[in-house]
């Protein structure tokens, strides 16, 4: 029924994976051979090709997901893969893929997602490749894939009927490849039950604790229904937008103060429940809210690290922590207090992989709403929500109290990120170049008593394999603990996005409940003048503030 075809093709020159896979407008992926070239390049980058190997494939349900899965199945079969596990209806969250690779000892996985970017025919699409440890392909692998994409002249695909993606449990064969349609939630939900105290969370919910969870019409809807409603007993009305849609209902599936506006409004209203949370398109990000209270991702990481023993899966086993360089140093204070190591890595989850594999860290996170642990090799949205529920069930205090108690003990790291999106690419590079050129003169400079102690372009050396990743962002660190950081996004698909991260610190009780933007206003102004951002880009204000 199926026949292997060898198709002649020519390379595209724009298939270099970014911070998190290859992310492009849907229309780019719809060009003839575009997806096929990239998938064949992934296979060609593997030792001995994909022949005889087992992979898992799934995505966040966005437009083009199903089409792409059919292509990948037929290409993997034509290239001689042994087994493909496919999420029912083509759905699998990024953390679920990571877990399935590890649990079934697969060779790797392919995730179809552009994460928090909008979907639909005019939105974005993306392909991420994860390796044997369950984590995103490290730079040496993505470099090889890119190299293959520049050399490609042919790809292989099986011609024949599409596979039924709905028939859960079904096993079919294309040529020598077994195709297994799996339940996208089961394995993952089971792992969560092993890590967290579901009984205690269930008790808390039964005793009147109220929550809302917003899946923003993306993949976590199916996980939320199974875990929060079926297994933990939250009422169905706690779920918002939990049916995955190909265009995410027209929104950005990005759990932050701007794009999860409805949830934020509800959490700050008179009728606010005790707890609110949201995830992004592919389920690896999380936003945590309490009644009238927003928890910054950097604080969330620190608070989880400080209270790790609330969760049965983590009792007495915090080996170390890590955060991406721009993430606030809140978690550093916890690590210092506990006497455990704290690693600082470049932005992107792939940099945590080696530290997790080597057992050097247990918990890690990024300021960009990403939190996770050694349970898998991706950040994990539902996991973070469950961690918070577990902490609250253990302590039985409101979210805001828990956070404020944390600040009183460790001090507060005020933190904000200002994004300038869709900036002209040349102008953005000028901003970065200008800063780079001024680093020397910034060293030891003094701004109204704020003395610069470090001004550099962050260069990371992996403590496990010694590999170096430089040019990871401009850091200006001041003697009073505050920092200004600049970097260009590696996930945007239009123009360039400049991110400015601003952090200030106080251990003074009377300064702990200020408004973040006003507490940081002087540093914010300084961040703009130092970078000449307005002069070079014409932008007066950032497009998103978190």
Return the active site residues. 115
Contact 142, 18 (CB under 8 A): no
Asked if 499 interacts with ligand VG1 (CB under 6 A), we say yes
Rounded (5°) CA angle 313-315-318: 100
State the nearest-atom distance from the C-beta of 281 to ligand VG1, in Å.
7
Closer to Co ion at the Cβ: 216 or 330? 216
Question: What gap in Å lies between CA 519 and CA 227, rounded to an integer?
Answer: 39
Task: Tell me which of 36, 44, 197, 282 binds Co ion, using CB under 5 A.
Answer: 282
Asked if 285 interacts with ligand VG1 (CB under 6 A), we say yes
Task: Tell me which of 490, 507, 514, 532 binds ligand VG1, using CB under 6 A.
Answer: 490
Q: Which stretch binds Co ion (CB under 5 A): 243-251, 279-287, 464-472, 507-515?
A: 279-287
> Which of ligand VG1, Co ion, none has residue 499 at its interface (CB below 5 to 8 Å by kind)?
ligand VG1
Question: What gap in Å lies between CA 465 and CA 508, rounded to an integer?
Answer: 41
User: Binders of Co ion: how many residues, by CB under 5 A?
Assistant: 4
Question: What gap in Å lies between CA 402 and CA 396, rounded to an integer?
Answer: 9
Q: Closest Cα partner for 196 from 476, 417, 385, 458?
A: 385
Q: Which stretch binds Co ion (CB under 5 A): 49-57, 118-126, 244-252, 277-285?
A: 277-285
> Which of Co ion, ligand VG1, none has residue 62 at its interface (CB below 5 to 8 Å by kind)?
none
Closer to Co ion at the Cβ: 93 or 506? 93
Task: Tell me which of 280, 299, 367, 503 binds Co ion, using CB under 5 A.
Answer: 280
Asked if 130 interacts with ligand VG1 (CB under 6 A), we say no
State the nearest-atom distance from the C-beta of 287 to ligand VG1, in Å.
12
Asked if 19 interacts with ligand VG1 (CB under 6 A), we say yes
Closer to ligand VG1 at the Cβ: 274 or 366? 366
Q: Token digits for 12?
A: 């595209």
**Interface of this chain with ligand VG1, residues 83 to 122, rule: CB under 6 A:** 115-116
Q: Closest Cα partner for 58 from 122, 108, 3?
A: 108
Task: Tell me which of 40, 482, 491, 506 binds ligand VG1, using CB under 6 A.
Answer: 491
Element (H or E) spanning 200, and its range? Answer: helix 198-206
State the nearest-atom distance from the C-beta of 8 to ligand VG1, in Å.
33
Contact 240, 215 (CB under 8 A): yes
**Strand 83-91, strand 177-182: pairing:** parallel
Contact 168, 75 (CB under 8 A): no
Contact 231, 224 (CB under 8 A): no
> Which of Co ion, ligand VG1, none has residue 490 at its interface (CB below 5 to 8 Å by kind)?
ligand VG1
State the nearest-atom distance from the C-beta of 374 to ligand VG1, in Å.
17
Question: What gap in Å lies between CA 441 and CA 374, rounded to an integer?
Answer: 41
Kindly report the backbone phi and psi dihedral angles of residue 519, in degrees, each rounded to the nearest multiple of 5, phi listed first.
Answer: -60, -35
Q: Which stretch binds ligand VG1 (CB under 6 A): 30-38, 83-91, 278-286, 454-462?
A: 278-286
Contact 343, 321 (CB under 8 A): yes
**Interface of this chain with Co ion, residues 480 to 499, rule: CB under 5 A:** none
Contact letters for Co ion, residues 233-272 (x by CB under 5 A): ----------------------------------------
Count Cα atoms within 13 angstroms, Cβ side, for 200.
17
> Which of ligand VG1, Co ion, none has residue 418 at its interface (CB below 5 to 8 Å by kind)?
none
Name the residue number minimizing CB distance to Co ion.
Answer: 115
Name the residue number minimizing CB distance to ligand VG1.
Answer: 115
Asked if 284 interacts with Co ion (CB under 5 A), we say yes
Residue whose pair of structure tokens reads 């609110």 in the numeric block: 276
Question: What gap in Å lies between CA 391 and CA 305, rounded to an integer?
Answer: 11
Q: Closest Cα partner for 377 from 74, 28, 109?
A: 109
Q: Please provide the DSSP assignment of 153-185 as one string.
A: -EEEEEESPPP-SS-TT-EEEETTEEEEEE-SS
Element (H or E) spanning 454, and its range? Answer: strand 450-457
State the nearest-atom distance from the C-beta of 123 to ligand VG1, in Å.
14
Asked if 124 interacts with Co ion (CB under 5 A), we say no
Closer to ligand VG1 at the Cβ: 37 or 489? 489
State the nearest-atom distance from the C-beta of 158 to Co ion, in Å.
31
Q: Token digits for 74?
A: 């037929």
Q: How far is CA 218 from the centre of its chain?
A: 14
Q: Is 207 exposed, middle or buried (0-12, 13-18, 19+ CB in 10 A)?
A: exposed
State the nearest-atom distance from the C-beta of 119 to Co ion, in Å.
12
Closer to Co ion at the Cβ: 152 or 356? 356
Contact letters for ligand VG1, residues 340-369 (x by CB under 6 A): -------xxx----------------x-x-
Asked if 115 interacts with Co ion (CB under 5 A), we say yes
Asked if 284 interacts with ligand VG1 (CB under 6 A), we say yes
Q: Which stretch binds Co ion (CB under 5 A): 163-171, 243-251, 280-288, 348-356?
A: 280-288
**Interface of this chain with ligand VG1, residues 365 to 404, rule: CB under 6 A:** 366, 368, 370
Closer to Co ion at the Cβ: 108 or 126? 126
Kindly report the backbone phi and psi dihedral angles of residue 486, in degrees, each rounded to the nearest multiple of 5, phi listed first.
Answer: -125, 135
Asked if 472 interacts with ligand VG1 (CB under 6 A), we say no
Q: Please provide the DSSP assignment of 475-491 as one string.
A: EEEETTS-EEEEEE-SS
Contact 124, 25 (CB under 8 A): yes
Give the contacts of 19 (CB within 8 A, at least 6 positions apart): 347, 348, 489, 490, 491
Binding stretches for ligand VG1 (CB under 6 A): 19-20, 115-116, 280, 284-285, 324, 347-349, 366, 368, 370, 489-491, 499
Residues found near Co ion in the complex (CB under 5 A): 115, 280, 282, 284
């Amino acid at each position: 029924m199926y026949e292997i075809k060898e198709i002649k093709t020519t390379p595209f020159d724009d298939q270099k994976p970014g911070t998190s896979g290859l992310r492009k407008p849907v229309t780019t992926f719809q060009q003839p051979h575009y997806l096929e070239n990239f998938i064949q390049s992934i296979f060609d980058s593997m030792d001995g090709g994909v022949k005889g190997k087992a992979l898992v494939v799934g995505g966040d349900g966005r437009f083009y997901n199903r089409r792409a899965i059919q292509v990948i199945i037929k290409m993997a079969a034509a290239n001689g893969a042994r087994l493909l596990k496919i999420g029912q209806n083509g759905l699998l969250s990024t953390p679920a893929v990571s877990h399935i690779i590890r649990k079934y000892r697969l060779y790797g996985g392919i995730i179809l997602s552009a994460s928090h970017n909008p979907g639909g025919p005019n939105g974005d699409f993306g392909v991420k490749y994860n390796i044997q440890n369950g984590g995103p392909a490290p730079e040496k692998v993505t470099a090889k894939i890119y190299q293959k994409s520049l050399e490609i002249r042919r790809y292989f695909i099986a011609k024949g009927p599409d596979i039924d993606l709905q028939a859960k449990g079904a096993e079919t064969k294309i040529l020598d490849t077994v195709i297994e349609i799996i339940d996208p939630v089961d394995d993952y939900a089971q792992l969560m039950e092993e890590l967290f105290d579901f009984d205690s969370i269930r008790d808390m919910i039964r005793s009147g604790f109220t929550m809302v969870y917003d899946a923003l019409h993306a993949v976590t809807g199916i996980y939320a229904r199974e875990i929060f409603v079926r297994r933990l007993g939250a009422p169905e009305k706690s779920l918002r937008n939990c049916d995955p849609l190909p265009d995410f209902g027209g929104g950005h599936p990005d759990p932050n103060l701007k794009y999860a506006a409805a949830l934020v409004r509800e959490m700050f209203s008179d009728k606010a429940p005790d707890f609110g949370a949201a995830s992004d398109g592919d389920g690896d990000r999380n936003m945590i809210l309490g009644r009238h209270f927003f928890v910054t991702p950097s604080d969330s990481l620190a608070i989880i690290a400080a209270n790790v023993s609330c969760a049965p899966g983590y009792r007495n086993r915090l080996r170390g922590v890590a955060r991406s360089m721009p993430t606030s140093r809140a978690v550093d204070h916890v690590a210092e207090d506990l006497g455990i190591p704290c690693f600082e890595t470049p932005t992107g989850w792939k940099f945590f992989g080696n530290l997790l594999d080597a057992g050097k860290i247990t918990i890690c996170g990024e300021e960009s709403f990403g939190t996770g642990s050694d349970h898998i090799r991706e950040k994990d949205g539902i996991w973070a929500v469950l961690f918070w529920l577990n902490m609250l069930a253990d302590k039985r205090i409101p979210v805001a109290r828990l956070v404020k108690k944390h600040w009183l003990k460790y001090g507060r790291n005020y933190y904000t990120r200002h994004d300038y999106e869709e900036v002209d690419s040349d102008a953005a590079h000028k901003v970065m170049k200008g800063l780079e050129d001024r680093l020397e003169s910034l060293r030891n400079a003094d701004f109204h008593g704020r003395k610069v102690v470090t001004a550099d372009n962050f260069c990371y050396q992996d403590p496990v394999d010694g590999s170096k990743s430089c040019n990871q962002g401009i850091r200006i660190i001041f003697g009073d603990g505050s920092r200004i950081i600049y970097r260009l996004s590696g996930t945007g698909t239009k123009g360039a996005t400049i991110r400015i991260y601003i952090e200030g610190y106080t251990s003074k009780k009377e300064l702990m409940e200020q408004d973040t933007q006003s507490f940081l206003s002087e540093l914010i102004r300084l961040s703009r003048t130092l970078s000449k951002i307005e002069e070079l880009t014409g932008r007066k204000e950032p497009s998103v503030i978190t």
